[in-house]
Amino acid sequence: MDSITVNNSGIISLQTFKDGFDGILSIAESGKQIPFDVKCTYYIYNLVNHESVVRGKHAHKSLKQAIFCINGSFTLSLDDGESKQEIIMDNHGVGVYLGPELWHTMTNFKNNCILLVLASDWYDESDYIREYGEFLAYIKK
């Protein structure tokens, strides 16, 4: 992942320590690597139809997120209403900042993919924009 060209997004590089044969430790700290205070953490795994499933398909009005692929890989598609970009998520120490008003989908899950998401607030259904046309109208306001 070289760069991200879509608005309200960016690359997040975690602090990573390689400990010889004892694995790799990656650290994500609020206010350092993560550009917001984390209030909610969730992960997605055991995708039964991993090759055909589409996750996401929404935007948020104010929520900020950091998304990581901690196992396997997937394709993250971003859309700010003007620019679109697809990013292959396969580096376990690098994630993507997803700001508000950013339509996103996740597809093409491979190799027992596990997604980790850090969010700036608790779950609130009223913050979601779940229809693409509604998203376009919302960001034009």
Sign of CA pseudo-dihedral 12, 10, 106, 86: negative
Please, which residues have CB within 8 angstroms of residue 102's CB and are 6 or more apart in sequence?
A: 6, 7, 8, 9, 59, 60, 78, 79, 80
50, 58, 60, 104: the catalytic one is 58
CA distance 128 to 138: 11
Our answer to whether residue 58 is catalytic in this structure is yes
3-state secondary structure 36-62: CCCCEEEEECCCCCCCCCCEEEEEECC
CA dist 61 and 17 (Å) reads 35
List the catalytic residues: 58
